[in-house]
Structure 1
Amino acid sequence: MTSYSKPTSLAKLNDAVLGCFSAFPPSEFIDHLVRYLGTWSGSDKLFAIVEYALKLLVPLLNKRAQLQKNAGLRKVATSSTAVRFSNLASTISDSRTLWRFWGLLSIIRWMVSLERSPQPTRNLLNIERLQGWSMLGYYPLEHLSYLVSHDVVPSRSTIDLSPFLAKKRSLQLNSGTLGVWSVRCWAFYVALQFAHLREDRMLLQAKYRTLRKVGLKSADKQEMQKRWNAYWSDLVINLANFPLAIHWSTGSKLLKHDAIVSILNLIVAVVSFRSGWQATALPSSTPAQPADELVEPVSAENTTAYDV
């Protein structure tokens, strides 16, 4: 008995301390979180939410510090917490730009698959073709702007054109100009997205009418709800992106307050995160509602299938 008492006690101690996670049951929420944040899009959207939430908090914290100073409650009118939040938001913004360096590969893959997959309409095919080409302009220009701003690529270089012009020419790259032109390419994408959403709406309405004629089934109802939910989410995202695209493509002259920019970006991030979260959810075994309760959304005010 004596020879087994010490190892047994030590094993129990190990189980109690090192194996304490045995007390926690498996969590579908954590599984879903890992599944979604394990994607580039999921982690980017989460960091975007954090970034723009911090950018909204910074002026509020500084305003509170100013009021406290006026009331004699503190010596300085700036918040040290606001400075740290601002530094973190800037770091996240810089990191998200760097992570987008792989975005061009996704666009190329998308454009290749686009030509090999049948599209519902010719208009939709041409819209997506133009959107693909606009992003082929956006990504390289943004990458080059980022590299120039971080002095990885020199802003000024000399090109030897002596075989053609018998002289050397100086090439100057401005990160700000490159950034504006990259956003203009993205603004073209955003404008085209409205035409894309119009085509999507027409297809959804036609699909709904067809299903109504043959009789809606439970599976059809669930599928239509998902499609309308995705449509309304995309519409909200594009409505928020449109003023941002105009603002940045005109040299940040449209929106006068940084808070408005942060709010619009936060809306985009939250709705995008929600859409991605729903897309990565495992199939639910919850019984669906009767198919005859499906209501076709016919206007932006009818948002029964979508909740921000």
Structure 2
Amino acid sequence: MSAVSRRAKVPRAPTSADQILGAFSRVPPSPTLDHLIRYLGTWSGTDKVLMLTQYSSKLLIAFLSLQHRVRLRLLEGTKSYHAPHGGSPVAARLERLVALVSDARILFRIWGILPIVKWMIALERTPPPTRLLHNIERIQGWSMLIYCPLEAVAYLGMHSIVPLSASKQNLCWLWGSRMWALYVVLQLLHLVEDNRLLRLRARALERNRGHPVPSSSRSQSSSSTSTAVTSEKQNSAATLTEEQAETRSLWNELHDRKEAILNELWVNLGYLPLTVHWSHPTGLISEPWVGLFGTIAAVAGLRSGWKGTAAPIDVAPVS
């Protein structure tokens, strides 16, 4: 048995098949790939990537269409704005991609009412710190409870799964968008209150602990002191260092919260004109503007989700 074990441990000589089929043995592990898999493994991560694809494609369509029209005017010397075969072929393919991605995103949201119900149950058991935030989130939850079924019914009616006339479909889309717009406006108010509370916490922290100071600023001690006094000062310095580390951690937490509020602000500033546009029966802005605002919201949301799925950093204990 020992001879068999020794033979099993001898590495095999590489063959030409190993060079081809085992090509990935030369590829090192990638933390970025691991992070991407973690992010796309979440529902929000997949949705944000699809959202960025959808709205950035709208911007690219607008650019390609403009480029195509300019080329036609320069070549033909006329004011014609249409190509002989219906415009830029790349733009036409991108429009089909946008329609497909939009359809997929709505389908993935069709059971989105379930986490909303879970959120509203948890909201009453662990309410926010102020009554204003509590009521804002309550209204937001009810607006989403109305929005989700309206979007689902309109989507199923659009695909002739639910018998629904075109006018009723439009009505569902319209009122669903208005509920979404209400949610976005309330979220902006939520962020204002969040920022107010954050500033209060920062003032209290500055008053009680001050700002973090480098731990080496008080490392010097007088050489003329006795051994007992020196030992006492060293213990005091060690305690001070721990307090400084805790203070620095609290300030870092406030800084991260401030960044999260700012990022959430960009998300909702992107969503606000879109939801208002979709809440109007005839719309208010053109497709390039829809692409721009949607891209802003998608990039901000993707940034937040990417940061939230980062691998935890191992911090060595302070000795």
TM-score higher than 0.5:
yes
Q: Which of 231, 234, 242 is the aligned partner of 2:261?
A: 231
Equivalent runs, 1:258-297 vs 2, <5 Å: 258-284=287-313
Q: Which of 159, 182, 197 is the aligned partner of 2:191?
A: 197
Are 1:182 and 2:176 an aligned pair?
yes
SS of the residue 2:284 aligns to: coil
Shift in CA distance, 75/149, structure 1 to aligned 2, threshold 3 Å: closer
Structure 2: gaps of 5 or more residues:
1-11, 77-82, 212-246
Q: Which of 197, 219, 224 is the aligned partner of 2:249?
A: 219
Aligned residues: 264
Q: Distance in 1 between matches of 2:44 and 2:268?
A: 17
Q: Distance in 2 between matches of 1:278 and 1:102?
A: 26
Q: Distance in 2 between matches of 1:134 and 1:75?
A: 47
Query: What residue number does 1:160 align with?
Result: none
Equivalent runs, 1:65-214 vs 2, <5 Å: 65-72=68-75, 76=85, 78-155=87-164, 174-214=168-208
Q: Which of 272, 275, 282 is the aligned partner of 1:245?
A: 275
Query: What residue number does 1:17 align with?
Result: 20
Q: 1:62, CA displacement in angstroms?
A: 2.2
Between the two structures, name the one with larger relative contact order (CA 8 Å, sep ≥ 6). 2
Cα deviation, 1:174-212, whole Å, max 9, x if unaligned, reads 111110011111111112112211210111111111211
Q: Which of 31, 37, 40 is the aligned partner of 2:40?
A: 37
Q: Distance in 1 between matches of 2:252 and 2:315?
A: 11
Give 2:308's aligned amino acid: A
TM-score, length-scaled by structure 1? 0.80
Cα deviation, 1:246-287, whole Å, max 9, x if unaligned, reads 2111124322x2211110011000000001111111234699
Structure 1: gaps of 5 or more residues:
1-7, 157-171, 288-308
Conserved 8 A contact 1:65-1:77? no
Q: Distance in 2 between matches of 1:180 and 1:223?
A: 40
Shift in CA distance, 177/118, structure 1 to aligned 2, threshold 3 Å: closer
Conserved 8 A contact 1:233-1:271? yes
Give 1:84's aligned amino acid: R
Cα deviation, 1:29-69, whole Å, max 9, x if unaligned, reads 11110001111100110111111111111122122223333
Q: Distance in 1 between matches of 2:127 and 2:157?
A: 40
Q: Which of 50, 53, 58 is the aligned partner of 1:55?
A: 58
Shift in CA distance, 75/153, structure 1 to aligned 2, threshold 3 Å: closer
The structure whose Rg is larger is: 2
SS of the residue 1:102 aligns to: coil
Conserved 8 A contact 1:65-1:76? no
Q: 1:229, CA displacement in angstroms?
A: 0.5
Conserved 8 A contact 1:69-1:77? no
SS of the residue 1:53 aligns to: helix
